[in-house]
Structure 1
Amino acid sequence: MIIYGTAILAACLIVGTIVGDALGVLLGVDANVGGVGFAMILLIVLTDRLRQRGHFPPISEQGVLFWSAMYIPIVVAMASTQNVVAAVAGGPIALLAGVGATVICWALVPVVSRIGGAEEPLPPQSEAEEV
């Protein structure tokens, strides 16, 4: 059922929020640090494992796919609640962390793109794409 996929997503979000809050406490920050990111990683790993074992039927996957389409607007809404002005005023570490993470991600794009090797391209879906 579709609701099972949504339940898995909700459980991952709860676990991610707990982990993000715990990380915030460990770092001495009064905020959730990466909770949504941890939730999404957990969701990817969990659904992949369930799919490999045959315990995640396609109809349940529809619940996850629906919310994955909503992911970007949800993240934008969550990010808008963060107090960026206070973070920047608190010191340059916030800017350094943001710029550092961005630079590291850009640097890792070629490395990640080499994982798995080259494969043949997929066939065109329609006659219009064959041109």
Structure 2
Amino acid sequence: MVIYGVAALALCMLVGTLVGELLGVAVGVDANVGGVGFAMIMLVLVTSWLRSKGKFPAASEQGVLFWSAMYIPIVIAMASTQNVVKAVTGGPMAILAGLAALVAGGALVPVLTRIGKPAQPLAPLTAEEKQEA
């Protein structure tokens, strides 16, 4: 059922928010630190695990897809603007942390591309497929 997909998303969001709040307390920041990110990672892992066990039917997946199209981009946009002014005016540490995350993410791109087996290249488009695109 679609409601199970929505429930999975809601549960992941609640747990991610809790983890973000606890991480904020642990590092001494009065803010949610990465809660949305933790929720999204958890949602991907949980739904992947449930699919592999055959316990996540297509109808439930529709609930997650619906909210991912509507809700998740809005939440991420809202979370990305939290305390930006305070972070920039608070000193160079916030800027250094952001740059470090950017460099680490860029450095991991080659590592992530090596994961998995090489796939066969896609067949060229037919004339009919080219017209549809």
Instruction: Say yes or no: TM over 0.5.
Output: yes
- Residues 34-67 of structure 1 show CA distances to partners (whole Å, capped at 9, x for unaligned) of 0011111111111111111111000100011112
Name the SS for the 1:32 alignment partner: coil
AA of the residue aligned to 2:77? V
Partner of 1:62: 62
Partner of 1:15: 15
Q: 1:87: Cα distance to partner?
A: 1.3
Q: 1:5: Cα distance to partner?
A: 0.1
Name the SS for the 2:14 alignment partner: helix
- Answer yes or no: is the 8 Å Cα contact 2:36–2:75 preserved in 1: no
Name the SS for the 2:26 alignment partner: helix
Name the SS for the 1:116 alignment partner: coil
AA of the residue aligned to 2:78? A
- Residues 88-118 of structure 1 show CA distances to partners (whole Å, capped at 9, x for unaligned) of 2212111001111011111111110111031
- How many residues get paired? 129
Partner of 1:116: 116
Fraction of identical pairs, as percent:
58
Q: For residues 59 and 19 of structure 1, what CA distance do their matches in structure 2 show? A: 29
Q: For residues 101 and 123 of structure 1, what CA distance do their matches in structure 2 show? A: 37
Partner of 1:35: 35
Q: 1:72: Cα distance to partner?
A: 2.1
Residues 82-121 of structure 1 correspond to what in structure 2 (within 5 A)? 82-121=82-121
Name the SS for the 1:98 alignment partner: helix
Aligned-residue Cα RMSD (Å) equals 1.8
Gaps of 5+ in 2: none
Query: Residues 125 and 16 (structure 1 numbering): CA distance in 2 closer, same or farther, change over 3 Å?
Result: farther
Query: Residues 16 and 125 (structure 1 numbering): CA distance in 2 closer, same or farther, change over 3 Å?
Result: farther
